[in-house]
């Protein structure tokens, strides 16, 4: 299949429009399907053909220059940067790990592989010093101390009950 015949002119036309009409970030909101498969615009097969036609394609110097100019046209004021920063901070504070509270998600074989990979791992003196410094001044709650003591007690009880 030839390199996409209809895709590139649309992109170049849109980029030129962006250069001619710089948008203020507060007024302009990107659509949710920005830069990906849009079922309202292409069929899945058509999208795959476009992707295949563009695979391995290199941008020309002219296109690279246009992309740089478009990037520079976006507002990067202090207020905008602060707004983006606050949004990122909020996102990472509320983001949860995918496996939090889940048990039994790894097979025995996977757990063994992960254990073997980490067994015997040592840290450099610099890393050990950093870990030591970060732990100094940490205050443990009474509940945490109790939980830790219980976990250690269970660990050694299980270890005694294992018959080799």
The answer to the question of residue 147 being in a domain is no
pLDDT grade for 7, boundaries at 50, 70 and 90: very low
The answer to the question of residue 54 being in a domain is yes
Helices (H) and strands (E) in the chain, counts: 7, 0
pLDDT at position 161 is 76
Q: How many CA atoms lie within 13 A of 109 on its CB side?
A: 0
CB atoms within 10 A of CB 18: 16
Strands (E), 54-158: none
The answer to the question of residue 130 being in a domain is no
pTM, two decimals, is 0.31
The answer to the question of residue 146 being in a domain is no
Q: Which residue has the higher pLDDT, 52 or 10?
A: 52
Residue 3 near residue 53 (C-beta atoms within 8 A) = yes
Provide the sign of the torsion angle of the four alpha carbons 99, 102, 104, 108, taken in this order. positive
Provide the sign of the torsion angle of the four alpha carbons 111, 114, 117, 122, taken in this order. negative
pLDDT at position 39 is 64
Tokens matching residue 91 = 């996102």
Please write the tens of the pLDDT for every residue from 95-152: 888 888 888 899 999 999 999 999 999 999 999 999 999 999 899 999 999 999 999 9
84 closest CA partner among 96, 92, 73: 92
The answer to the question of residue 114 being in a domain is no
The answer to the question of residue 160 being in a domain is no
Rounded to the nearest integer, the mean pLDDT of the chain is: 79
Task: Name the strand (E) or helix (H) holding 158.
Answer: helix 142-161
Host domain of residue 73: 7-94
The answer to the question of residue 56 being in a domain is yes
The answer to the question of residue 46 being in a domain is yes
Total number of domains in the chain: 1
């Amino acid at each position: 299949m030839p390199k996409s015949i209809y895709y590139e002119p649309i992109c170049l036309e849109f980029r030129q429009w962006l250069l001619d009409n710089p948008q203020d970030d507060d007024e302009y909101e990107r659509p949710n399907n920005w830069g990906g498969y849009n079922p309202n615009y292409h069929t899945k097969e058509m999208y795959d053909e476009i992707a295949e036609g563009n695979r391995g394609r290199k941008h020309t110097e002219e296109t690279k220059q246009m992309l740089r100019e478009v990037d520079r046209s976006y507002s990067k004021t202090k207020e905008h940067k602060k707004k983006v920063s606050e949004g990122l901070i909020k996102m990472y504070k509320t983001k949860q790990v995918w496996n939090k509270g889940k048990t039994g998600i790894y097979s025995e074989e996977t757990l063994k592989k992960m254990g073997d990979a980490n067994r015997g791992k040592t840290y450099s003196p610099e890393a050990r010093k950093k870990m030591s410094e970060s732990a100094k001044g940490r205050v443990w709650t009474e509940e945490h101390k109790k939980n830790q003591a219980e976990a250690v007690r269970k660990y050694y009880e299980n270890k005694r009950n294992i018959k080799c």
